[in-house]
Structure 1
Amino acid sequence: MLSRLPGLSRRLFLGAAGGAALTGLLAACAGGTGGTGDPGDTASAGGGPRTVPASPPGTPKTGGTLRAGSPPPPTAVDPVTMYDGSAIAIVQLVADYLIWLDRDFKLVPRLAERWESEEGGERWVFSLREGVTFSDGTPLDAKAVKATFDRLLDPKSKSAAAAAFDSVLARGGIGVRDDSTVVFTLERAFSDFPYLVSAGNYNAVILKEDYAGDFTARPVGTGPFLLESYDASSGAVFKRNPKYWEPGKPYLDGVRITFYADDQADLLALQSGEIDTQILSRPALVGPLKGLGGTVVDQVQGTGLTAFTLRVDQAPFDRKEVRQAIAYALDRPGVNAGVYDGIGALGNDHLFAALFPAAPPDVPQRAKDPAKVASLLAAAGVERLSFKLTYDPPSKDYALTVQDQLKQVGIEVELDQRTSGDFYGGDQEKDTPWLFTPANLVGWAGRAVPSQFIIPMVKSGGVWNGSKYANPALDAATDAYDSATTDEERRTQAAIIAKALHEDVPVIIAVWSGAVRAYAGDRFTGVSAHPSSYVDFSSVSRL
């Protein structure tokens, strides 16, 4: 039996740290709060952010309201269908997960106290925490957990969470052993399954058995705060949940989120003291604020990425040499500096970030090489390469950087910006731009395990396989990776996958993005960045 102890770090269990997020979609206080948060001291010789001590001195102070700024959610705030950072943050203040995913990708027990696998990883048994109640007084039980995942797996729910379970867990695979025990029977062995029911799968918050939508009107959850009011144009107000299961928390009396129409307005609110922190901080915007007026910019490594996707079934990208040429044309440190304010880590055109335990160390790092670009295009018989690159507004800076860098080696790129609604709209089976244009940029939030990228993005027939790439060897290695029970076997299969993607280049991964969060460090502690821009304000305290 392969068991995973509660809170066991992937670094200990598999030999390294794991990965985490669609794009994150990610100060004067009228009485603060007390907390023991972990902003983390990430100052670096290269000009990294100045941070405050990870824990406040003495006993955490209770009371006060934390004021946060955020973009307005573009769609309804519904735990089942949400996909943007603002909606996710609102729900995470009110509802909770079986397992939280910490900033170092440690699995932290929440509503589940422990979990273990049976049948070689094909069945997983979760034991629920005793004495937890929903905010309306209803006891948490296994039936509510089963209903939550049945709901997410129901095609009618149109939940993004379903893709994470593709080929792993099917509807009907969740059973109730008793009131406090839930059993997941998988379609195949999957040793990382706990990550799929953790906060790493952001829709997987546990809701009441009879949840029927309209969350902001009936916001019942087991989280640290209660949603008092919500206005789609102005913001949301929360107060402390007196029934929260963790004794003494949250320290805050409440949280107030104000919606700002654009990033600049949000930034000005932080600078002026109108808010104390941001839900979604942009590295390039908040970087200059480091250490000014008590502002702290916490940063953390992550596994978010912008996938530069190339259709391998359409000219000119049906030639591997053309795809490789584009990859060799990019100045990756330049992308990191220009788009991510230098906080990211260089990518190498495969889907194993350095944070993932099995990331192969022996794949040569691809770097800009104009001579190589010319020889590859000549080998492909391409005298002049030009193409259209489609993207939505969050990827604009990335697109401009790519256009400029490719122009320097004689490759012409026509930029095709769509609205986010258009880019992700249309028929997902045949014509949505993000999956069917010849070349595009898609922002992916950090994922907890590499399979959450590999299975939907590059496995044959993957639900989000925009490159239309198919490689039977990669498919087999992916299945073997997921069922592996030893570090050695996992590294072996990871090397096969990584080398195939690095050689075939269906997607170019230039940088793995980190994440930042700015906050008033002279008034609060416990605010921290998260790889997926998640919020956990239960430990936030005023100084």
Structure 2
Amino acid sequence: MPRGALSAVGIAAALSLALTSCSSSSGSAPSAAGSAQGGGTLVVGVTSDPDTLFPWKATQFTTVNVLQNLYGTLTEFDKDLNVVPGLAESWQASEDGKTLTFKLRQGVTFADGSAFDSADVKASLEKIKDEKTAAVAAASLSSVESVEAPDPNTVVLELSGPDSALPANLATVNMAMLSSDDTEEELNAKPNGTGPFTLGKRVANQSLTLTRNDKYWNEKAKVASVEFRVIPDESSIVSAMQSGNVQLAVFNDPLVAQTAQGGTVNVAKTPQLNYHVLQLNAQRGDLKDVNVRLAIQCAIDRKQVLDTAALGEGEVVGPITAPAYKSDPNKRPCPTRDLAKAADYLAKAGKSGGVTVKTIVSQGEYATSVNEAQNLKAQLAEAKINLDLEVLESGAFVDRWVAADFDAAVALNGGRPEPDGSYARYFTSDGNLNKVAGYSSPKLDELFAEGKATTDQAARKAIYDQVAAELENNAPWIWLFSGYTYTATAANVQGFVPMASGSLQYLRTTSVG
């Protein structure tokens, strides 16, 4: 089992596939030929209950982790975050990059037994693009002008221009392929996917059980079922593991991870692409003024937030965390805390007396949130900036966040190996989550379009460096740090592969002795 290895080379390779062909005889996992089905139930401890079972609207971490085991996508990521075939066994771009043709796997079925084919892909992609659906990843399909299904096993995407980000963007569960016959209401009651598991029993706010899908097209899951058991805090999950009631959990809090290690519990530490961030809604109140936002940026010692909330376990980061495109955290107006400069920015905004920013904080979705918020509040108070904190349970936080009903939010955002997938939906003028970010500009629109149309790795890096500079210089968000996840497994658990994306997709290769 890898212990936190993250391949920048692998990620770079994953992003060069849009204008080339890709095919595989084995997909993203070992073939089923040499595998033996196991049995038993794997109990996974989680701190929150999924807030939806509809994959196109999933943003909460637990929700994403559950749904990615129920649904399939056209492409997938392997353990090194290379883009590999999923429900599409191959794809080929035209010479001008404006047509992308997918060949689908044959013999794939949904959980209800119905066949998966090109009509389902066409319907799924068109519905994701439709504003009425409110799909959170709709912006990732902005280059797609039409979807055609010339035969049951072929899908042709006509693009407005070359889109080197598209194969990677199609690999997220927000791009899950659904049956053309299903509705959001039906799927929230009973998911119907093509993944390695199907939904078993659910008890709201207590547990959700997945059962092995013996008709899954790839290697069958090693366990008969996986139970996601809701336990409100990470320390209580450790107790449940030590008593043998939970076999696997992923922690964010390094102190909790330290208490878990030892005896019958092993802990693997994995660096993450996700990032901790103070999101400022640039359309609200005093935050409309860039000088107020820059004052907040200059008044924060990011290393202090990291040390206080995560025991220094991680690194200060800029906007882009993917190794192939990583931002330099020192390239910002205030690379280190500068209270004098913060005061100057407030004076420019006519706010020398200070400002108050109402800030929402999630409690329960990740362990360090409240400590981060309290440290930020203490630091900013020294600059006459008052964070008025409102702590919410994770479901209420997500509802407020999606509705952009906040001035500021202390958040942990999932990172991706593709910068376009991470940020185009937030910071472009037509991005479907732009109201959450509250900021866009013609310059950013131009840069994101250029980044998608470019295939040369070095040229793309230079473009996304400009994206990072534009974001830092206008401070719509204050990027803080990236940390680790700590995967705790009981001694009798084998085969789970932690990923830098935080994905739990390798529950399908996990066995319980």
Aligned: 1:447 with 2:416: yes
1:477–1:502 Cα change, 3 Å: same
Check the 8 A contact 1:336/1:342 in 2, yes or no: yes
Give the C-alpha shift of residue 155 in structure 1. Answer: 3.6
Aligned: 1:258 with 2:229: yes
The aligned residue for residue 197 of structure 1 is 170
Looking at structure 2, the residues matched to 401 and 79 of structure 1 have their Cα atoms a distance apart, in angstroms, of: 34
Aligned: 1:406 with 2:380: yes
The residue matched to 1:10 in structure 2 has which SS? helix
1:235–1:407 Cα change, 3 Å: same
1:358–1:74 Cα change, 3 Å: closer
1:358 partner amino acid? Y
The residue matched to 1:292 in structure 2 has which SS? coil
Looking at structure 2, the residues matched to 332 and 372 of structure 1 have their Cα atoms a distance apart, in angstroms, of: 16
Q: What per-residue deviation string (whole Å, max 9, x for no partner) do you get for residues 506-530 of structure 1?
A: 221111344333221x111222333
The aligned residue for residue 180 of structure 1 is 153
Partner of residue 148 from structure 1, selected from 111, 124, 128: 124
Looking at structure 1, the residues matched to 189 and 346 of structure 2 have their Cα atoms a distance apart, in angstroms, of: 58
Looking at structure 2, the residues matched to 155 and 317 of structure 1 have their Cα atoms a distance apart, in angstroms, of: 28
Give the C-alpha shift of residue 193 in structure 1. Answer: 0.3
Partner of residue 144 from structure 2, selected from 143, 153, 169: 169
Looking at structure 1, the residues matched to 508 and 359 of structure 2 have their Cα atoms a distance apart, in angstroms, of: 40
Check the 8 A contact 1:388/1:416 in 2, yes or no: no
Check the 8 A contact 1:251/1:540 in 2, yes or no: yes
Q: What per-residue deviation string (whole Å, max 9, x for no partner) do you get for residues 364-412 of structure 1?
A: 3622234443454456565332322311324433221211222345544
Looking at structure 2, the residues matched to 37 and 516 of structure 1 have their Cα atoms a distance apart, in angstroms, of: 23
Check the 8 A contact 1:356/1:450 in 2, yes or no: no
1:215 partner amino acid? L
Give the C-alpha shift of residue 233 in structure 1. Answer: 4.1
Q: What per-residue deviation string (whole Å, max 9, x for no partner) do you get for residues 320-367 of structure 1?
A: 44433322222222222333444433123xx322x2423355963622
Q: How many residues get paired?
A: 481
Structure 1: gaps of 5 or more residues: 1-7, 16-35, 39-57
1:152 partner amino acid? I
Check the 8 A contact 1:63/1:251 in 2, yes or no: yes
The aligned residue for residue 304 of structure 1 is 274
Looking at structure 2, the residues matched to 329 and 299 of structure 1 have their Cα atoms a distance apart, in angstroms, of: 31
Looking at structure 1, the residues matched to 95 and 279 of structure 2 have their Cα atoms a distance apart, in angstroms, of: 38
Looking at structure 2, the residues matched to 369 and 471 of structure 1 have their Cα atoms a distance apart, in angstroms, of: 27
2:151 partner amino acid? D
Aligned: 1:473 with 2:443: yes
Check the 8 A contact 1:147/1:209 in 2, yes or no: yes
1:22-33 correspondence runs (5 A): none
1:482–1:340 Cα change, 3 Å: farther
1:109–1:214 Cα change, 3 Å: same
Partner of residue 497 from structure 2, selected from 523, 528, 532: 528
1:10–1:308 Cα change, 3 Å: same
Give the C-alpha shift of residue 422 in structure 1. Answer: 5.6
1:400 partner amino acid? Q
Check the 8 A contact 1:14/1:357 in 2, yes or no: no
1:238-249 correspondence runs (5 A): 238-247=210-219, 249=220
Check the 8 A contact 1:389/1:441 in 2, yes or no: no
1:122–1:414 Cα change, 3 Å: same
Aligned: 1:396 with 2:383: no
Output the TM-score relative to the length of structure 2: 0.82
Partner of residue 114 from structure 1, selected from 70, 77, 90: 90
Greater relative contact order (Cα < 8 A, sep 6+): 1
The residue matched to 2:187 in structure 1 has which SS? coil
The residue matched to 1:479 in structure 2 has which SS? helix
The residue matched to 2:195 in structure 1 has which SS? coil
Looking at structure 1, the residues matched to 399 and 191 of structure 2 have their Cα atoms a distance apart, in angstroms, of: 28
Output the TM-score relative to the length of structure 1: 0.78
Aligned: 1:352 with 2:320: yes
Check the 8 A contact 1:358/1:487 in 2, yes or no: no
The aligned residue for residue 257 of structure 2 is 287
2:482 partner amino acid? W
Give the C-alpha shift of residue 483 in structure 1. Answer: 0.7
1:44-193 correspondence runs (5 A): 62-118=38-94, 120-165=96-141, 167-169=142-144, 173-193=146-166
Q: What per-residue deviation string (whole Å, max 9, x for no partner) do you get for residues 435-464 of structure 1?
A: xx2x33344222342123432322335443
Give the C-alpha shift of residue 153 in structure 1. Answer: 3.0
Aligned: 1:415 with 2:389: yes
Check the 8 A contact 1:299/1:517 in 2, yes or no: yes
1:120–1:515 Cα change, 3 Å: farther
1:108–1:385 Cα change, 3 Å: same
2:224 partner amino acid? D
RMSD: 3.4
1:236 partner amino acid? L
- Which structure features the higher share of helix residues? 2
Identity of counterpart residues, as a percentage?
26
1:480 partner amino acid? E
Aligned: 1:235 with 2:207: yes
Check the 8 A contact 1:308/1:441 in 2, yes or no: yes
Looking at structure 1, the residues matched to 153 and 187 of structure 2 have their Cα atoms a distance apart, in angstroms, of: 25
